[in-house]
Amino acid sequence: MPQLYNVLRGDMSLVGPRPLALVRDDGRVVSIGSYPLRHIFRPGIAGWAQVNGCRDEAYSPEAMRRRVDLDLAYAGNWSFGLDLTILRMAFTQAWFRGAS
């Protein structure tokens, strides 16, 4: 519910790259040059990386790179239809698979 409040305030959107903990942000920016590009879009409650399996903390460089690549794929292919697809997938995963 706090995230919905942030959407109503305009600080977040329903769909966009999921915000990462600041502790994780600082250590990964240097190792992934395209990382800052994921901030093109406002952070969202649901994101392309999330619905494609990147729901956990990205502890390894490979996991972080996959998450950044998926976020950039979303940014490069954004459409209203893609947002609807992500929302549908997020709802389906949360409802039927108990995703967090």
Question: Domain extents for the chain?
Answer: 2-97
The DSSP result for 10-36, as a single string, is TSSEEESPPP--HHHHHHHTTT-TTGG
pLDDT at 22: 44
pLDDT at 30: 47
Alpha-carbon radius of gyration of the chain: 13
Q: Are 37 and 72 in contact (CB under 8 A)?
A: yes
Nearest-5° Cα angle at 13, 73 to 58: 50
> pLDDT tier at 20 (50, 70, 90 boundaries)?
low
Structure tokens of 86? Answer: 């992500």
**pLDDT tens digits for range 57-94:** 666 777 778 888 898 899 889 999 999 999 999 999 88
Q: Are 12 and 35 in contact (CB under 8 A)?
A: no
Beta partners for 44?
Answer: 13
Q: Are 62 and 99 in contact (CB under 8 A)?
A: no
Q: What is the pTM of this model?
A: 0.74
Read off the pLDDT of each residue in 41-66 and give the average, rounded to a whole number.
81
